[in-house]
Structure 1
């Protein structure tokens, strides 16, 4: 690899403030704010709005949309096409 063209990858803490969830991962993101991690080291912290702790798909609180009748409603609005 050529030197000097790739971004620096470093450990970064991703924090979901809504759930109080934090995760340490490698990333090229940088942040001026820092946080002290469980191992005693200080890492840059990036606040995220949605994480696996709050996303409805991962928490099991997702809603299933009612799709029954959509085809009939479409055909009622725009008419049935020749198949």
Structure 2
């Protein structure tokens, strides 16, 4: 393959990820995402909240998330401040 010319192509650059988003990487699971973003609530409850907030992206099978999917990380009661 040395010496072969690659065709010119546009490469999409995803917008930066914020604290309330996560872009799925190979090997990620909802459990690992929930565990990597401590929120003060149990991981079991957190991954289910992430699934519920992203059901339109993930679908009915929470075990099937795909690299590149951008997931919204819902806020929790622990994230909110009381005036």
* Range into which the TM-score falls when normalised by the shorter chain: under 0.3
- If asked which structure has higher relative contact order (CA below 8 Å, sep 6+), I would say 2
Alignment TM-score, normalising by the size of structure 1: 0.23
Richer in helix (by share): 2
Alignment TM-score, normalising by the size of structure 2: 0.23
